[in-house]
Amino acid sequence: MIFFIFLLLCVGRLFFIQFFRSDYLTAIAKKQHNQLVELEPRRGTIYDCNLKAQAFNMSMDSLYAVPNAIKNPEGVISQLQPILGVERNYLQDRLDRKKSFIWLARKLTPDKSEEIKKLNIKGLGFLKETKRIYPNSYLASHIIGFSGMDNVGLEGVEMSYNNYLKGAPGWAIFLRDARLKKLDIWEKMVAAQDGLDLVLTIDEVIQYIAERELERAYKTFHAKGASIVVMDPHTGRILAMANRPTYDLNDHAHVSKDSIRNRAICDLFEPGSVFKIVTASAAFEEKKVTEEDVFFCENGAYQVGGRTLHDHTAHGNLTFRQVIEESSNIGTVKVAMLLGPDTLYRYIKGFGFGSKLGVDLSGEISGMLSPVRLWSKTSITAVPIGQEVGVTALQLASAISVIANGGQLMKPYVIDSVRDVQGRLVKQNKPVLIRKVISVDTAMRIKKILTGVIEEGTGKLGKVLGFSAAGKTGTAQKLEPNGSYSHNKFVASFIGFCPAEDPLITVVVTVDEPHPYYYGGVVAAPVFQKVAGDVIRYLKENEIPVEVRVQ
């Protein structure tokens, strides 16, 4: 009788479980024996213009734990802590959580991964994740940028083109055995969608040449910062862009914002005498002067508009050609007065100053250019020589390219194309003409004068061995917090192109607060000389064609 009652109770219990607890128990079983795993997509590779990889992903082990399956947490912590190099409290906190999955360490080095696998600890497992690798570490760091732990772009083109690079994750439900060990058997799966690849306009070799010479000047002159831009003047393709200070893309966790900042597009400075190319171009285009018109340069000091204007060297009579070659502030201002504020302002805007150029990098600023109605009585004596205006190195590169290419302002860009993993084109960038600024005749006349700057004027140290070159020096005083011009803080710069007769490249070099020497012709011109010479030889030796030119 007792046995019969017991049997009825068992049958009743089974009936209750089958019809009333079935869904609940099935869910528990699935949770124990099925593991939902997100499948990480391949993040797109970033290449230079010659398809040399600058950023790619490498597969690595990431360590996870199933805290519910770990019987001796203290022992596991003691074994893992010296390998992972983390605080004991960190591991204690993770393993105390009542979860079926929790990360302990992401993207381990192969050595650490193998060491942990040898411990054969129940409740630990590995999943494959990818880590972003930058094979050239410092090279083009401010253009490429970097991505975070979860492969999301945080700086540079890694950030601005993140939607192309990141792809879309998939998922899979893997089966686990009774010991909760993942089996290589999946129940359901949705494949990840790989990211697209980027091809930059940057040339790895040209980038290296530019960074090598910029680094040398930065250290030699103990500068606060420095930038260089190398561009194809006919298309706007940026062949190299670099800044100092810089940082290692593979070790960016504790880098200062000052090192990460792309100074070439987001740092504002008064350009000084390099800005005289705008005044000279406007004077020719408006037929206000000729090369041989003579201006009296007041023997180095000129009282005008309530201020005294100085030249770095006293000059008497100079032709207009000599005014630019010798970088006379007084002569340039006298020419600007013939133009008038409104006309000068129109040409400054035409050359791209005071507006964003639209480069495909995040962080570009528009610079600073006040409308004429806000100019003071002395602005006409300051703006023509690069004072009371703020520019970027990229704007200067685009402006000197106008002279080099025959009068056209081209939109600068660093992304050549976007491609899928099979190499098929998804998006192709092409040269974009922003506007026609000056005539071909004016550009040719300015080009001859800028050739004279290097041959006979202030830019002699920019002379390129074996090739003709044209350029302009600049030495700009920085503003102090009280609004006055500093007597010991300068920005030295040089803008130019090479070869002069048929330019292949334009180069802009800016050096912030160099010392003890601070003149653009001494500090920045030699960087131009070395970069232009080596780059032109590289292009010619490798028969690298100039891109199709916009007419």
Please state the three-class secondary structure of 395-462 as a single string. Answer: HHHHHHHHHHCCCEEECCECEEEEECCCCCEEEECCCCEEEECCCHHHHHHHHHHHHHHHHCCCCHHH
Burial of 18 (0-12, 13-18, 19+ CB in 10 A): exposed
Q: Supply the Cα-derived Rg of the chain in whole angstroms.
A: 32
Q: Over the chain, what is the mean pLDDT?
A: 89
Q: 468 and 485 in contact (C-beta within 8 Å)?
A: no
* 273 is known as an active-site residue: yes
Q: Which of 487, 450, 459, 494 is nearest to 271 (CA)?
A: 494
Plot region of 356 (φ>0 → left; ψ -120 to 50 → alpha; else → beta): beta
Residue range(s) in the chain whose domain bears CATH number 3.40.710.10:
204-541
Greater model confidence, 85 or 2: 85
Residue range(s) in the chain whose domain bears CATH number 3.90.1310.10:
36-68+97-200
Greater model confidence, 13 or 59: 59
Residue 548: per-residue pLDDT: 42
Mean pLDDT score, 300-327: 91
Burial of 58 (0-12, 13-18, 19+ CB in 10 A): exposed
Which residue is catalytic, options 62, 113, 273, 328? Answer: 273
First to last CA, the chain: 106
A 10 A CB-CB count for 547 gives 16
pLDDT grade, residue 187 (50/70/90)?
low
**0.95 surpassed by pTM:** no
pLDDT grade, residue 60 (50/70/90)?
confident
A 10 A CB-CB count for 478 gives 16
pLDDT of residue 306 exceeding 90: no
Q: What length is written for the chain?
A: 551
Please enumerate in sequence order all residues whose Cβ is within 8 A of that of 248, keeping only pairs 6 or more positions apart, or say none: 134, 137, 138, 141, 255
pLDDT grade, residue 38 (50/70/90)?
low
Task: For CA atoms 262, 349, 210, 543, give the dihedral sign.
Answer: positive
pLDDT grade, residue 338 (50/70/90)?
very high
Domain spanning 36-68+97-200: CATH 3.90.1310.10: yes
Greater model confidence, 35 or 143: 143
Lowest mean pLDDT among 17-21, 29-33, 76-80, 478-482: 29-33
Mean pLDDT score, 102-116: 87
Greater model confidence, 497 or 456: 497
Greater model confidence, 267 or 252: 267
Residue 183: per-residue pLDDT: 47
204-541 CATH: 3.40.710.10
Burial of 27 (0-12, 13-18, 19+ CB in 10 A): exposed
Q: Phi first, then psi: give them for residue 11, nearest 5 degrees.
A: -65, -40
pLDDT grade, residue 129 (50/70/90)?
confident
Q: According to the 3-state scheme, what is the secondary structure of 227-271?
A: EEEEECCCCCEEEEEEEECCCCCCCCCCCCHHHHCCHHHHCCECC
**Token pair 């893309």: residue:** 249
Residue 237, CA distances (Å) to 15, 142, 227 in order:
76, 16, 17
pLDDT grade, residue 25 (50/70/90)?
very low
Q: Which of 307, 299, 266 is nearest to 485 (CA)?
A: 307
pLDDT of residue 47 exceeding 60: yes
Mean pLDDT score, 337-365: 96
